[in-house]
Chains A and B, each alone.
Chain A
């Protein structure tokens, strides 16, 4: 059973870069057939899809978001990562990683999520 777990700092200062990692267990990112995704939820708001990456490194981002996001994959560690540059308080959110299919982009499974607070 595939499981995902987010990790990274819970507090980031304004203007810095937020870096999160999602570790996949119970399955291999390299096996293909899936996209590996990042989703966030601002306090009291709905969920927002950020983007996803394939095992080969092809990325797709939400065009409605500004291009401060970078998603990368490290198949040797069975991990994928999210970087968000020049953060502001508006980037405070719970960040989730999740898996979705190539064709049918529903998300299953998800990580538990990690709260990132942007504050000085």
Chain B
């Protein structure tokens, strides 16, 4: 199965700063079938990005995804207070579907 490794484990930034989250796959992710999710305490996880770079419906354009093969990035251009949460990547190009362990984005 494809193992997804997210880095850093925790990212401490201030509102207004740029956040760069990494997701590295143990083997190539077929057709860039990679998604990103945001999870806040007590809330359902929310789909942000699919197909490595397509924003889901209603997602602000400060969120962007990029990458291919084994290296993928989620970028939040200017952090808003509501963006501090845990972020997960997920690959759906190979069975079984797998997720990364998450990056916690916290307020500095």
A72 to B46, CA, bound (A): 25
**A-contacting residues, B46-99, CB 8 Å:** 46-47, 50-51, 56, 88, 90, 92, 95-99
In the complex, chain A residues 96-120 whose Cβ is within 8 Å of any chain B Cβ: 96, 98, 100, 104-113
Return chain B residues, CB-CB under 8 Å to A109. 44, 46-47
Given contacts A49-B98, A62-B96, contact A106 B44 (CB under 8 A): no
- Residue from the list A39, A104, A112 in contact with B92, Cβ < 8 A: A104
A108: chain B residues at CB < 8 Å are 47, 50, 56
User: Which residue of A is nearest B92, CB measured?
Assistant: A105
Give the Cβ gap from B43 to chain A, nearest Cβ, in Å: 6
User: Given the complex of chains A and B, what is the CA–CA distance between A39 and B51 in angstroms?
Assistant: 20
Q: Interface segment, A23-31, A40-48, A74-82?
A: A40-48
Given the complex of chains A and B, what is the CA–CA distance between A96 and B99 in angstroms?
14
Partner of B1, one of A39, A64, A104: A64
On chain B, the number of residues with a Cβ less than 8 Å from chain A's Cβ atoms is 24
Evaluate contact between B1 and A107: CB separation under 8 angstroms.
no
Within the complex, the shortest CB–CB distance from B58 to chain A, in Å, comes to 10
Known: A104-B51, A108-B56, A113-B44. A46 touches B92 (CB 8 A): no
Q: Is the CB of A47 within 8 A of B44?
A: no
Cβ-closest chain A residue relative to B34:
A106
A: residues with CB less than 8 A from B are: 4, 39, 45-49, 60, 62-64, 96, 98, 100, 104-113
A-B contact sample (10 more), CB < 8 A, given A46-B99, A106-B90: A46-B88, A46-B102, A63-B95, A64-B96, A96-B45, A104-B92, A106-B50, A109-B46, A110-B46, A113-B44
